[in-house]
Structure 1
Amino acid sequence: MASRADQLASNISLAKFSQATELKKRLWFTVGALIVFRFLSFVPLPGVDPTVLSQLYSQTRGGVLDIFNTFSGGSLERMSLIALGVMPYITASIVVQLAASLSPQLASIKKEGESGRKKLNQYTRYGTVGLTAVQGYFIAVGLESYGAQSGLQAVVDPGMMFRVAAVISLIGGTMFLMWLGEQITSRGIGNGTSLIIMAGIVAQLPVTLAKLFESGREGSISGLLIFFVMVVALGLIAFICFMERAQRRVLIQYPKRQTRQGLMQADRSHLPLKVNTAGVIPPIFASSLLLMPLTISQFAGNRVAGESKWGDFLLSLNQYLSHGSPVYMALYGLGIIFFCFFYTAVVFNPEETADNLKRNGGFIPGIRPGKNTENYLDYVLTRITVIGAGYLAIICLLPEYLISQAGIPFYLGGTSLLIVVNVTVDTVTQIQSHLIAHQYGDLIKKARLKGRIR
């Protein structure tokens, strides 16, 4: 009986999905935009030899390059037009949000509503262009000397013209990805930037699994270790799904109101506070802040290595901040915890929530409206954010450390799983919301038709 009920429910949902034309348009637009993103990852920068670059990357594989290559969907390995991905845009948005919370002028702009949001978005775009230009120049300079020790030349014609062309191409690619993410958010399903990062990770997953099983076949990695990694990955996925749905429900009570039957009835509802209010943003923000200086030092250090003390310092900095090192893990963990609290404070404002409850006559039982309600919400939110920050740090750091010690590819790390699972859950939730809205729309139309007939 249960299986028949589940099958009937799935048939009904599929029937509703086939009737939801607006949802299908949004899904097809999202799929088309992600296909365009994947095509762009195979378009190389002008003046770069893709064959030589592939050989050099296989020799220097590991560390921060693999991390950056994961989030860009393999674009850095091929040095495509979108080699930097959306990381400069994310870094610029971090800077603007931090400045908006610290600067009174930007805070007043933020309170202007839609017009203020457009101004801050424009500042974010300007910052994205500046960061991409800086990173692109250092990448172009590093590419000219990339492989000099091996006797290979990744750049066909080094010089100022190549640097200018590379910087312009990288700026164009990053700005196009930023625009594509905004289009997915407004005309598609889900958050566009998160979907682009998830698409890059998922695109690298088959290659990673093939290399992992090939290593097991060759004997470089034991089959028991591969089985252990798969079990840990499945356990992490289940744990992430559980924690992402965990919430603290705060009871909200409204005063008694008279109904049509003349009865006095008090309304009750709940204010759901997610344990992980920040979602997948803290790991992305923390990695993007780490990747920006590391990318510059990686390419600049290779160019000036051995020529000065500055070059030796950059190389030693890359070694200390290599993937899985204690310094990298400490900075990454602190970044996740900081951005977890910071983004939660940006998303949820206890003062505004307390004012809305007071304006609508709602109150928390045992807590006086106003300032006391604000303090109580802030207290509860801080406590559950501690749990959420600890959960994110464990999910991201523990698998990364085990994988770096065992020599497993980075793409199977906790950060990648967290991004994929979180974005997938959010996207499925939005699809269900569209289906429910479509169903309610049909019910309203039927009710109007019946009213006209009567």
Structure 2
Amino acid sequence: MIQTIRKAWGIPELRKKIIFTLLILLIFRIGNAITVPYVNTDLLATYLDQMGATILGLYNVMSGGAFANATVFALSIQPYINSSIIIQLLTVAIPSLERLARDGGEEGRKKIQSITRYTTVAIAILQSVGYYFMMRNANLLQTGADGIWPALVIIVTFIAGSSFVMWMGEQVTEFGVGNGISIILFAGILSRVPVMVSQGIAFGSQAAINWLWVAVLLVAMLALVVFIVFINDAERRIPVQYAKRQVGRKMYGGQSTHLPMKVNMSGVLPVIFAQSIASLPITVWTFIGIPTKEESPVAYAIYNAIDTKSIIYMVVYFIMIIGFSYFYSSIQFNPVEIANNLKKQGGFIPGFRPGKPTVDFIRKVLNKITLFGAIYLGIVAICPLIVGKIVGSDHLAIGGTSVIIVVGVALETVKALESQMLMRQYKGFLE
């Protein structure tokens, strides 16, 4: 990876793209340091820390700690991610959107992107209003900041910050390196590493734990990164043979190739979506008020049963990851469409007739590798929860999700740099 970046830096055009991306990330980090007026950030950070590993904890990590500090970019790219997921789901459910995505071409892609932008702003408005009322109800605002003007300033600032982050991500995608939204997400999570390390050291010192276990945990984290890299690049290759056909005096076809199917083709989306839904009840309950054992023994028992550290939550979380993995793989990979394309191009899978037998075989392989990829995502997401339950820390609860995102974006960015360097080599050769 370092070698690829060094080579890309030596190409003037790519150097400009890298510098542009770094400047955007610098602006993003500056925005994460500017707090919104009228908010008591000390009380807010303490309040969110007491809430544990709810969906707000996921927002805080993905924003680089900006959510807990109520900065200008507190919502970060969460509204855009949620908007993209919603539009993707509606594309499957609404025929007009499905036709627009499938047959609309470049114009259709732009229309869907425009719809995603408007949906992002709408979600940012809802989240900003909800965030403000959460802070007001929990007495996290500064003294005398209960009027209409402070509310308007806080809400409008959050909405503008989220919209600006979305715009910066699109600029990186167009003029920078890699996917802009992923790069900003990567930078936000990575900026939390020093804080997480300091919190881990402080926790280890207070708990007086055996530092041998810390070394074992570090080795396990490195092994987890290697495992994620291996699975991220793993794919099932189905052999495809193209029949020979004569067009005029020329003979076409006859070559052998393969149909690649990635083991984890849905990425980290099932984990994000499953965690958002699984932790929603406990998050809403926390907003209402955590019951005590003396006030309501039954409510207290139910709260502990669905808490993010409970066995029930882990089981539901794991099942949801598997379910969403199958859902996203069915969206991204259509066996019927693949089989029809092979048939039109004169290709076939050895041992299977074109048509329904080919569709059944592709669907069978897809189900197998999706199950393996879903179990992999579930293990990576659940292991930090189990370790956090053992050591008594909530900060590990979303560690698996963060590692998957960081490693995946790093590999994706390196591949984008390599592809751009390869394109320029071909361009120079043709010139």
Report the TM-score, using the length of structure 2 for normalisation: 0.87
In the alignment, structure 1 residue 118 sits paired with structure 2 residue 117 = no
Amino acid at match of 1:254: Y
| Deviation per residue, 1:139-173 (Å, 9 max, x gap) | 212212335xxxx7546511333223222221111
- Aligned-partner SS, 1:41: helix
In the alignment, structure 1 residue 75 sits paired with structure 2 residue 60 = no
Q: Which residue of 2 aligns with 1:4?
A: none
- Alpha-carbon distance change, 294 to 41 in structure 1, aligned in 2, over 3 angstroms: farther
Distance 1:285 1:44 in 2: 28
| Deviation per residue, 1:344-388 (Å, 9 max, x gap) | 222222222222222222111122223332332222111111111
Distance 2:45 2:204 in 1: 24
In the alignment, structure 1 residue 252 sits paired with structure 2 residue 240 = yes
Report percent identity of matched pairs: 35
Q: Which residue of 2 aligns with 1:416?
A: 402
**Residue pair 1:254, 1:363 contacting (<8 A) in 2 also:** yes
Gaps in structure 2 of 5+ consecutive residues: none
In the alignment, structure 1 residue 440 sits paired with structure 2 residue 426 = yes
Q: Which residue of 2 aligns with 1:359?
A: 344
- Aligned-partner SS, 2:244: strand
Q: Which residue of 1 aligns with 2:184?
A: 196
In the alignment, structure 1 residue 426 sits paired with structure 2 residue 416 = no
**Aligned-pair CA distance for 1:438:** 1.8
In the alignment, structure 1 residue 146 sits paired with structure 2 residue 132 = no
Q: Which residue of 2 aligns with 1:5?
A: none
Distance 1:14 1:169 in 2: 36
Q: Choose the corresponding residue for 1:347, options 322, 332, 355.
A: 332
Q: Choose the corresponding residue for 2:378, options 393, 416, 426.
A: 393
Q: Which residue of 2 aligns with 1:63?
A: 53
Q: Which residue of 2 aligns with 1:450?
A: none
**Residue pair 1:143, 1:155 contacting (<8 A) in 2 also:** no
Distance 2:282 2:127 in 1: 10
**Residue pair 1:91, 1:289 contacting (<8 A) in 2 also:** no
**Aligned-pair CA distance for 1:323:** 2.9
Amino acid at match of 1:374: V
**Aligned-pair CA distance for 1:202:** 0.9
**Residue pair 1:145, 1:153 contacting (<8 A) in 2 also:** no
| Deviation per residue, 1:316-368 (Å, 9 max, x gap) | 88755543223432343233222212222222222222222222221111222
**Residue pair 1:245, 1:274 contacting (<8 A) in 2 also:** yes
In the alignment, structure 1 residue 38 sits paired with structure 2 residue 33 = no
Q: Which moved more, 1:241-250 or 1:126-135?
A: 126-135
Report which of the two structures shows the higher radius of gyration computed on alpha carbons.
1
Distance 2:280 2:398 in 1: 22
Distance 1:174 1:256 in 2: 55
Q: Which residue of 2 aligns with 1:17?
A: 8
Q: Which residue of 2 aligns with 1:131?
A: 123
Q: Choose the corresponding residue for 1:382, options 358, 361, 367.
A: 367
Distance 2:304 2:118 in 1: 32
**Residue pair 1:144, 1:155 contacting (<8 A) in 2 also:** no
Q: Which residue of 2 aligns with 1:47?
A: 38
Question: What is the number of residues matched between the two proteins?
Answer: 423
- Alpha-carbon distance change, 319 to 331 in structure 1, aligned in 2, over 3 angstroms: same
- Aligned-partner SS, 1:82: coil
Q: Which residue of 2 aligns with 1:109?
A: 100
**Residue pair 2:35, 2:70 contacting (<8 A) in 1 also:** yes
Report the TM-score, using the length of structure 1 for normalisation: 0.83
- Aligned-partner SS, 1:279: coil
**Aligned-pair CA distance for 1:22:** 2.6
Q: Choose the corresponding residue for 1:97, options 65, 88, 97.
A: 88
**Residue pair 2:37, 2:154 contacting (<8 A) in 1 also:** yes
- Aligned-partner SS, 1:44: coil
| Deviation per residue, 1:76-115 (Å, 9 max, x gap) | 1211122222222222222222222122233233232333
Distance 2:21 2:221 in 1: 27
Q: Choose the corresponding residue for 2:229, options 219, 226, 241.
A: 241
CA RMSD of aligned residues (A): 3.2
Q: Which moved more, 1:107-116 or 1:250-259?
A: 250-259
**Residue pair 1:208, 1:411 contacting (<8 A) in 2 also:** no
- Alpha-carbon distance change, 351 to 23 in structure 1, aligned in 2, over 3 angstroms: farther
Q: Choose the corresponding residue for 1:184, options 168, 172, 177.
A: 172
Q: Which residue of 2 aligns with 1:222?
A: 210
- Alpha-carbon distance change, 40 to 244 in structure 1, aligned in 2, over 3 angstroms: same
- Alpha-carbon distance change, 286 to 267 in structure 1, aligned in 2, over 3 angstroms: same
- Alpha-carbon distance change, 80 to 320 in structure 1, aligned in 2, over 3 angstroms: farther
**Residue pair 1:143, 1:299 contacting (<8 A) in 2 also:** no
- Alpha-carbon distance change, 128 to 299 in structure 1, aligned in 2, over 3 angstroms: farther
- Alpha-carbon distance change, 331 to 43 in structure 1, aligned in 2, over 3 angstroms: farther
**Aligned-pair CA distance for 1:265:** 7.9
**Aligned-pair CA distance for 1:431:** 1.3
Distance 1:321 1:35 in 2: 40
Distance 1:90 1:292 in 2: 17
Q: Which residue of 2 aligns with 1:3?
A: none
| Deviation per residue, 1:4-34 (Å, 9 max, x gap) | xxxxx96xx6785344223222222222222
